[in-house]
Structure 1
Amino acid sequence: MHRSVTFKCRTTLAGLAAATALAALAGCAGGTAGNLTASPGSPALKGSVPDAGTGPQSVVAAMPPGKPTLSGPIGLAMSRKDDLYVANHYGTNGDILIYNSKNQLRKSTITDGIDNPADLTFDRGGNLYVTNYTNQTVTVYDAAGKRIKSRTLHTDTSYNPSGVQIDSQGRVWVANRNNGNITIGEIQVFNKNGKVVASATQGLVYPLGIVFSHKTGNAWIANSESPNDDMAIYTQSLQFVKTIPTPGFTPTYLAYAKTGLLYATNGLDADVEVFNTKGKVVQTITNGLNLPYGIAFNKLGYFYVANVGNNTITEYNAKGKLIATIK
């Protein structure tokens, strides 16, 4: 079923069919969604999902019984072994699914401490960090997937953690947003001991993805509130630099390619835009995308995109050509 919707909303979508709910999700920030596909027969929705700029909206699907499956894939991260880790947001609490380099689902699934995960990333030691949207924590796991409870980070309870990244000093940056007030946002920086050493709000409006520039080391942060879409730039000392407007494009999650180009997903539509170091769009990718959120690169320079709209992950080569779809 295809839907094209144009409207503003901050409504509760509990009990709606998945197709209708996902279409509504795409238009709730005042933007215009493109042609969005929702799988027929998807389960009813309940709970909360970190949607891009929609306000206090509730949409979380019950996880189907049996074999783990993609259900509300939000964040993506690539391990040192080139395994793809997926933050599965839907379900009672959600989970982390793992795919090998052949796009095959591994038997191991991470659930300990997971509570509707949004984003995830790895540190240099191979430890996994996961933002838990519902209980306002960042949980940490070793390379074997075992939870390191002593390293759990507790984020600002005034917000919901939706983005996470590790800087060159090993500090953890967390993007917090507030569904009750989509015009504000916050970045918290935690040191290796789990203490908050800095925080900032300037230039932040519903922040989600964070990425660090390969060239300058500056943090680029996706502000996902339409129509005030932009990317905020901070130094690693958390000094605000500027914002780069992205009119008509709602940046959601971000990733850098080996080429130094910045890739940004548009969580309110069906495209990925590629930016040069000056913030100019040099390429737009649309094939196979449906409410794209997380994005991650493998060692070959290929990239994966999590599609919330139809519960798939699409794989592209370095030129942006669609080469595989994980369902």
Structure 2
Amino acid sequence: MKFSRVGTLATLAGLVLQACSGGASPLAPGTPAASLNRPMSSPAIAKNLYVSNQVNDSVTVYAPGTSSPLRTITQGVVDPLALIFDAAGNLYVGNGSPTVTGGNNVTVYAPGSTSVLRTISDGVAEPAAFAIRATSGELYVANFGNNTVTAYRSGKTKLFRTLTAGVNEPDALAFDTSGHCYVSNFSSSTVTVYKSGSSTLLRTISQGIYEPFTLALDNSGNLYVANYGNNDVTVYAPGTTAVLRTISQGINGPSALTFDGSGNLYVANLMGTTVTVYAPGETSVLRTISKGIHGPAALAFGSNGYLNVGNASTPLPTSVTEYPPEKTKLARKITKGISGPDSLAFGP
């Protein structure tokens, strides 16, 4: 099965999405989400927006407030599934296609560069998501294609740790403040948790989980799981496996999660063509963003507090749309260079 958050969800929902790299082609912020695999941007420094485009095998970069590419990265990019930056500002791109020459690896780019700095291929198979362990700078890669999570020391390409116990088509990763690794397993409908700096399985969460698509941790350490199969988000207190609460109002095909600076939860609803917002600890919709939204697959907040949404469904033109803090009005729409935006990140 070829991995793609967008492709997988579209297949499940019976949608027809444009093929990528010769085949049907998910996404992953951050401790939030649009990324879980992507850390939030620093509020002190304006950063460029990076967009992975699965349809045309590129990563396009946009300066703050602009709608035309500042630069385009194509060298080494094949069916890009995930983006993340390390502490030094190096960009990591997960190239997912195992059938196309140049794919099935992670390519790394120095800040501001469009040339490959190094390539990680040892143990990599359809890399669906990233996470970086804050204390060590180690890169963790969720390999949807071989049911593993592989780890690499900062600046290295050699595999030094593999997580396999309980891993089954992993599609999202996150670390808590203790350094424990959380893995979302799509096919087994579980989230598995691993001891910090180890491959030892600590616990398995299955209650309330069905076809989990992404993960997020709030500032209190509560775990949020987007369950595509159940059209809900389940929440778990730190260290527990029982559902604390379930959010279902307004949710339809949840594909990405993130939090704003006030702790509000944002959910991208691929099938509902909306982004719904929930106040901390609440299960009722605080507000709904729909203007410009179609097939939302990725979420990320810029340093200015604006929400960016990757709209990946076709035949409508794919785009990235931007919204002011705590507002639903459309502030900016980017279409130039955008072609199946599956992951968003902010960096140098």
- TM-score normalised to the size of structure 2? 0.65
Aligned to 2:141: 130
Shift of 1:99: 7.2
Q: Is the 8 A contact 1:213 1:256 kept in 2?
A: yes
Aligned to 1:321: 331
Match of 2:286 among 282, 292, 314: 282
CA spacing shift, 1:291–1:164, aligned 2, 3 Å:
same
Shift of 1:302: 4.6
CA spacing shift, 1:121–1:301, aligned 2, 3 Å:
farther
Shift of 1:250: 1.5
Aligned to 1:255: 258
Aligned to 1:162: 171
Q: Secondary structure at the match of 2:160?
A: helix
Q: Secondary structure at the match of 1:26?
A: helix
Q: Which moved more, 1:273-282 or 1:292-301?
A: 292-301
1:90 matched to 2:101? The reply is no
Aligned to 1:67: 75
Q: State the distance in 1 between where 2:111 and 2:292 align.
A: 20
Q: State the distance in 2 between where 1:99 and 1:285 align.
A: 34
Q: State the distance in 2 between where 1:312 and 1:70 align.
A: 18
Shift of 1:202: 0.6
Shift of 1:245: 1.1
Q: Is the 8 A contact 1:295 1:303 kept in 2?
A: yes
Q: State the distance in 2 between where 1:237 and 1:63 align.
A: 39
Q: Secondary structure at the match of 1:87?
A: strand
Q: State the distance in 2 between where 1:213 and 1:300 align.
A: 20
Alpha-carbon displacement from aligned partner over 1:71-127 (angstroms, at most 9, x marks no partner)? 3x444444435666443433535344567887x745336441321121212221332
Q: State the distance in 1 between where 2:308 and 2:176 align.
A: 22
Name the aligned partner's letter for residue 195 of structure 1: T
Name the aligned partner's letter for residue 281 of structure 1: V
Shift of 1:217: 1.6
CA spacing shift, 1:77–1:156, aligned 2, 3 Å:
same
Q: Percent identity?
A: 25
Name the aligned partner's letter for residue 161 of structure 1: P
Q: Which moved more, 1:251-260 or 1:300-309?
A: 300-309
Match of 1:153 among 127, 145, 163: 163
Alpha-carbon displacement from aligned partner over 1:227-269 (angstroms, at most 9, x marks no partner)? x310111122123212211445211221222221222222345
Alpha-carbon displacement from aligned partner over 1:45-96 (angstroms, at most 9, x marks no partner)? 26xx669xxxxxxxx98979x734463x444444435666443433535344
1:176 matched to 2:195? The reply is no
For structure 2, the residue ranges without an aligned partner over 5 or more in a row are 28-53, 59-73, 339-348
Name the aligned partner's letter for residue 94 of structure 2: A
CA spacing shift, 1:123–1:210, aligned 2, 3 Å:
same
Aligned to 1:28: 12
Name the aligned partner's letter for residue 149 of structure 2: V
1:203 matched to 2:203? The reply is no
Aligned to 1:235: 237
CA spacing shift, 1:289–1:70, aligned 2, 3 Å:
farther
Aligned to 1:186: 190
CA spacing shift, 1:43–1:295, aligned 2, 3 Å:
same
Shift of 1:208: 1.7
Q: State the distance in 2 between where 1:315 and 1:109 align.
A: 32
Shift of 1:296: 3.6
Q: State the distance in 1 between where 2:119 and 2:300 align.
A: 19
Q: Is the 8 A contact 2:10 2:17 kept in 1?
A: no
Aligned to 2:224: 220
Q: Is the 8 A contact 1:222 1:253 kept in 2?
A: yes
Q: State the distance in 1 between where 2:228 and 2:7 align.
A: 17
Q: Is the 8 A contact 2:110 2:117 kept in 1?
A: no
CA spacing shift, 1:127–1:318, aligned 2, 3 Å:
farther
Q: State the distance in 2 between where 1:105 and 1:288 align.
A: 30
Q: Is the 8 A contact 2:75 2:115 kept in 1?
A: no
How many aligned residue pairs are there?
A: 280
CA spacing shift, 1:106–1:276, aligned 2, 3 Å:
farther
Shift of 1:318: 4.8
Q: State the distance in 1 between where 2:145 and 2:171 align.
A: 10
Q: Secondary structure at the match of 2:10?
A: helix
Shift of 1:129: 1.6
Q: Is the 8 A contact 1:62 1:91 kept in 2?
A: no
CA spacing shift, 1:23–1:134, aligned 2, 3 Å:
closer
Shift of 1:169: 0.7
Aligned to 1:54: none
Q: Which moved more, 1:167-176 or 1:83-92?
A: 83-92
